[in-house]
């Protein structure tokens, strides 16, 4: 018997849940995002495979998606419904003799001891489908990185195994940002160092990576290139570090008093979330996005951990003023000074 990691990933999760409750949508391009109004600011959360065929992708502005696929059905994000569906899936996974680590609405790792991980994967797929009507893919590996990577090669709905033996034949010639945890910024820096493939990254000197990316991230990037991942599958319930709310305004706010007022409102929403959690807040942060798209953040430790909504709102307003005072000092790309307008406002509470 050997230790294996399975990565379970639901196919087009949000779109699939919408099709489940509206079967007449099956086979049609479905796009879930924002409040479903393509004339408003918002992005695609999930596109069905039919919509993806038109070039619609997650993260794409809804307007762009509507241009690419005008006949798609555009639906608003209905969070409570997806949370229920997700909980059903995760409860189903926990029926298996495995450690289950939930990493999102539509993804989980299973740590299991078995001689036939493919058989386990087939049973997981079948039981999830029977219990929820949802289809999933399963990646198999000796660690979480290999399993997560494998899932990507089987989409949609496949079962793929990657181990140390097959890591380089699948990943070796791909660019580093094909790796989980390495994005475009890091890939660009790696390219500047002459590292343009996963294999080259795997062969890079840890000391060189540490000098460029820091003592923790540097060696971690190297390990990732080699397909190594010592992190265990953790079944404990996740304990949130923070709670936040943010809002993008349909029209930028031009009046600072209006910004203050919205900040107080958002802070009270966060305070209500935090009150549900029943945990004390140690720090309060504010995020501002100046138009056109420049994001700044600031945070402040509370004098003492608190739960009171008024205290959280007062702290948020204090932090907001710090950002506001910097507003005229924030240069524009063209160097011409003028008033900054506010596109987004967010408030975050960090737990003690």
Distance CA 343, CA 41 (A): 10
298 sits near DNA (criterion: CB under 7 A): yes
154 sits near DNA (criterion: CB under 7 A): no
| 95 cis-preceded (ω within 30 degrees of 0) | no
50 sits near DNA (criterion: CB under 7 A): no
**Among 134, 187, 202, 264, contact with DNA (rule: CB under 7 A):** 187
**Among 11, 50, 107, 229, contact with DNA (rule: CB under 7 A):** 107
Concerning whether 192 is annotated as a catalytic residue, the answer is: no
Segment interacting with DNA, rule: CB under 7 A, options 17-25, 35-43, 137-145, 200-208: 35-43
Distance CA 242, CA 193 (A): 36
325 sits near DNA (criterion: CB under 7 A): no
- Dihedral of alpha carbons 133, 139, 143, 149, sign: negative
Segment interacting with DNA, rule: CB under 7 A, options 116-124, 157-165, 181-189, 192-200: 181-189
45 sits near DNA (criterion: CB under 7 A): yes
Cβ 173 to DNA, closest distance in Å?
18
Q: Closer to DNA at the Cβ: 165 or 184?
A: 184
186 sits near DNA (criterion: CB under 7 A): yes
3-class DSSP state of 31: strand
Strand runs labelled E in 91-185: 99-104, 107-114, 136-141, 159-162
What distance separates the 2 farthest-apart alpha carbons in the chain?
A: 68
Give me the DSSP letters along 250-318.
Answer: EEEE--HHHHHHHHHHHHHHHHHHHHHHT--EEEEEEEEEETTTEEEEEEEEEEEEE--HHHHHHHHHH
299 sits near DNA (criterion: CB under 7 A): yes
Strands 99-104, 281-290: pairing kind: unpaired
Q: Closer to DNA at the Cβ: 118 or 177?
A: 177
Segment (H or E) for 7: strand 2-10
The footprint of DNA on this chain (CB under 7 A) covers a number of residues equal to 59
DSSP 40: S
**Among 185, 251, 333, 336, contact with DNA (rule: CB under 7 A):** 185
Segment interacting with DNA, rule: CB under 7 A, options 90-98, 105-113, 115-123, 137-145: 105-113
Contact criterion met (CB below 8 Å) for 263 and 283: no
Give me the DSSP letters along 128-155.
Answer: HHHHHS--EEEEEESSHHHHHHHHHHHT
Residues in the chain: 352
Q: Closer to DNA at the Cβ: 127 or 300?
A: 300
Cβ 176 to DNA, closest distance in Å?
9
Among the listed residues 107, 203, 246, 350, the single catalytic one is 107
**Among 72, 182, 201, 233, contact with DNA (rule: CB under 7 A):** 182
The closest alpha carbon to 10, from 89, 63, 92, 88, belongs to 89
103 sits near DNA (criterion: CB under 7 A): yes
Segment interacting with DNA, rule: CB under 7 A, options 229-237, 255-263, 304-312, 339-347: 339-347
- Chain Cα centroid distance, residue 84: 19
166 sits near DNA (criterion: CB under 7 A): no
Distance CA 314, CA 342 (A): 20
245 sits near DNA (criterion: CB under 7 A): yes
Cβ 24 to DNA, closest distance in Å?
26
67 sits near DNA (criterion: CB under 7 A): yes
Catalytic residues, by residue number, are 107
- Which chain residues interact with DNA by CB under 7 A? 34, 39, 41-43, 45, 58-59, 61, 63, 67, 103-107, 148, 177, 179-187, 189, 213-218, 240-248, 273, 283, 292-293, 295-301, 322, 343-344, 346, 348
């Amino acid at each position: 018997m050997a230790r294996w990691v399975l990565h379970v990933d639901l196919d087009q999760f949000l779109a699939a849940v919408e099709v489940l409750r509206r079967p007449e949508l099956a086979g049609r391009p479905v796009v879930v995002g924002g409040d479903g109004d393509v004339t408003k600011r918002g992005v695609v959360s999930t596109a069905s495979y039919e919509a993806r065929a038109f070039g619609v992708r997650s993260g794409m502005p809804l307007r762009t998606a509507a241009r690419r696929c005008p006949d798609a059905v555009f639906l608003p994000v209905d969070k409570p419904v997806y949370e229920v569906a997700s909980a059903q899936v995760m409860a189903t996974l926990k029926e298996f003799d495995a450690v289950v680590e939930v990493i999102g609405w539509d993804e989980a790792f299973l740590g299991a001891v078995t001689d036939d991980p493919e058989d386990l994967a087939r049973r997981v797929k079948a039981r999830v489908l029977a219990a929820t009507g949802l289809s999933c893919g399963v990646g198999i590996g000796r660690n979480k990185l290999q399993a997560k990577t494998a899932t990507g090669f089987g989409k949609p709905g496949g079962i793929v195994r990657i181990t140390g033996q097959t890591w380089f034949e699948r990943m070796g010639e791909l660019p580093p940002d094909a790796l989980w945890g390495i994005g475009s910024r890091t890939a660009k820096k790696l390219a500047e160092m002459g590292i343009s493939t996963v294999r080259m990254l795997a062969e890079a000197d840890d000391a060189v990576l540490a000098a460029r990316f820091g003592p923790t991230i540097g060696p971690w990037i190297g390990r990732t290139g080699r397909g190594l991942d010592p992190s265990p599958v953790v079944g404990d319930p996740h304990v949130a570090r923070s709670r936040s709310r943010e809002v993008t305004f349909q029209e930028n706010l031009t009046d600072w008093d209006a910004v203050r007022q919205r900040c107080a409102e958002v802070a009270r929403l966060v305070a209500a979330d935090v009150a549900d959690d029943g945990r004390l807040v140690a720090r309060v942060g504010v995020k501002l996005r100046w138009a056109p798209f420049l994001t700044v953040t600031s945070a402040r430790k509370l004098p003492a951990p608190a739960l009171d909504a008024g205290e959280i709102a007062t702290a948020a307003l204090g932090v907001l003023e710090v950002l506001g005072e910097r507003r005229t000092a924030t240069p524009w790309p063209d160097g011409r000074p003028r008033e900054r307008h506010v596109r987004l406002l967010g408030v975050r509470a960090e737990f003690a």
